[in-house]
């Protein structure tokens, strides 16, 4: 038996470690990026809302995470959430192909997991969980993928939890790049010696007072006027967007040559 084979002993170890349990910073994903090989590019990213490292197994999962985190209604993100009680939850499972998800050597059933379980807050302040599977459209052509998704669908349906499949079509690359670009300013220590909270107030006022100028020119003048290092104004501009105090179209490339009033929504 290979070291990577799934077994009852490994299942017991995962459960003992607390995988798939907890919320917020205390949650442990069922699968870490180093647990199994992935066809996609794996990544680990520190969550600004959860204050823990998230383990993501593809570029699509990474972009989905960025969009979820940027969404103000999302308050917790649990990736690789295991369906540990799937046998008890799903009643109508006679036509489901659980036999497809067994270790070839040990014949031990794998623990299936949904890519993301999100806790969201609605307009009334009520919290609820929603589940999201992230797949590339090419994967949806594979029968085994469809069979796994059908198990997930029925599981969450029986739990009374909203479940949907997201593909790369709902995860624009430019949107992901822009969110990645602005979220860096929210990381602790990203500002260096700059007091970003105090300076961003002045930056906001200056931008709005000079919205008929190209953004690049506004940022250059601001740095000089405030006696700041080159690039400080751009950092503060990104910070204001990340804090949602300035609104721009993040689905498009941010052109610094454009006039401010053509960028702001």
The answer to whether 115 touches 68, Cβ cutoff 8 Å, is: no
Provide mean pLDDT across the span 103-128. Answer: 95
- What is the average pLDDT score of the chain? 93
Residues whose CB is less than 8 angstroms from the CB of residue 6 and which lie 6 or more positions away in sequence, other chains included: 103, 106, 108, 110
Provide mean pLDDT across the span 36-45. Answer: 74
Give residue 191's pLDDT. Answer: 77
Residue 2 scores a pLDDT above 60: no
HSE-CB at 183 with a 13 A cutoff on CA atoms is 20
Please state, in angstroms and rounded to a whole number, the distance separating the CA atoms of residues 205 and 194: 17
DSSP 110: P
pLDDT tens profile 50-62: 999 999 999 999 9
Residue 85 scores a pLDDT above 80: yes
Please state, in angstroms and rounded to a whole number, the distance separating the CA atoms of residues 172 and 64: 9
Written as six digits, the tokens of 163 are 């479940």
Residues whose CB is less than 8 angstroms from the CB of residue 173 and which lie 6 or more positions away in sequence, other chains included: 63
Written as six digits, the tokens of 161 are 């939890």
The answer to whether 187 touches 154, Cβ cutoff 8 Å, is: no
Radius of gyration in angstroms for the set of CA atoms belonging to the chain, rounded to a whole number: 22
% of the chain with per-residue pLDDT over 90: 87
Provide mean pLDDT across the span 37-51. Answer: 84
**Residue 1 pLDDT grade (very low, low, confident, very high; cuts 50, 70, 90):** very low
């Amino acid at each position: 038996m290979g070291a990577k084979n799934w077994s009852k002993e490994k299942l017991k170890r995962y459960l003992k470690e607390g995988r798939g349990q907890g919320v917020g910073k205390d949650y442990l994903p069922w699968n870490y990026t180093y647990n199994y090989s992935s066809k996609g590019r794996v990544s680990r990213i520190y969550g600004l809302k959860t204050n823990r490292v998230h383990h993501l197994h593809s570029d699509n999962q990474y972009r989905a995470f960025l969009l979820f985190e940027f969404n103000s209604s999302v308050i917790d993100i649990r990736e690789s959430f295991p369906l540990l009680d799937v046998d008890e939850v799903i009643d109508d499972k006679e036509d489901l192909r659980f036999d497809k998800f067994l270790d070839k050597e040990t014949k031990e059933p794998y623990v299936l997991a949904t890519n993301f379980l999100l806790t969201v807050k609605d307009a009334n302040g009520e919290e609820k969980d929603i589940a999201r599977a992230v797949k590339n459209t090419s994967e949806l052509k594979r029968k085994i993928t469809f069979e796994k998704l059908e198990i997930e669908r029925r599981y969450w349906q029986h739990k009374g939890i909203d479940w949907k499949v997201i593909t790369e079509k709902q995860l624009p690359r430019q949107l992901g790049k822009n969110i990645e670009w602005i979220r860096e300013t929210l990381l602790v220590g990203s500002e260096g010696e700059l007091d970003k909270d105090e300076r961003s107030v002045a930056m906001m006022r200056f931008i709005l007072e000079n919205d008929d100028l190209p953004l690049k020119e506004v940022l250059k003048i601001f740095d000089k006027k405030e006696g700041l290092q080159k690039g400080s104004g751009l950092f503060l501009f990104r910070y204001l967007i990340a804090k949602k105090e300035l609104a721009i179209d993040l689905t498009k490339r941010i052109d610094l040559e454009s006039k401010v009033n053509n960028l702001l929504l």
